[in-house]
Homo-oligomer: A and B are copies of this chain.
Amino acid sequence: MATGVVNLGEKFALIDERWSPRIAARINDMYLKLVRVKGEFVWHTHTETDEFFYIHRGELTIELKDRGSVDLHAGEFFVVPRDVEHRPIASEDCELVIIEPAGTLNTGDVGGSLTAPEDRWV
């Protein structure tokens, strides 16, 4: 218990794979996940949950269907409301913290080859 301190930078250093969220903490029924990304993800929607994005390192654009886009830099966060179709894009390597309920798939309603296992810790 008293050894459960997590250093974000140290954990991200363990993650090579892109677009593959790794769980770093559980808070009640929510998971805090770390994700390394680069390039364009797929358009998708989470119909059951908001999705929190915090930029640990790098920059991320989140395109929002019919609502423009948001540009996020290190130290900034944004909450994509449930039911809002979105697509993350990172031109360079970017380290994201995501918070969402346990059981949430990275590709939401759309599935496909980028769908990652949901239960891997780092």
Q: Indicate how many identical chains form the complex.
A: 2
| Residues of A within 8 A of B (CB-CB), count | 38
Q: Does the CB pair A50–B76 fall under 8 Å? A: no
Q: Does the CB pair B25–A76 fall under 8 Å? A: no
Given contacts A28-B49, A49-B28, contact A8 B75 (CB under 8 A): yes
Looking at chain A's contact residues, the main secondary structure is strand
Taking the complex as formed, is A6 at the interface, i.e. its CB lies under 8 A from any CB of chain B? yes
Taking the complex as formed, is A9 at the interface, i.e. its CB lies under 8 A from any CB of chain B? yes
Distance in Å: Cβ of A70 to nearest Cβ of chain B: 5
Q: Which residues of A are interface residues toward B (Cβ below 8 A)?
A: 1-9, 25-28, 30, 32, 49-52, 64, 67-73, 75-79, 81-82, 84, 99-101
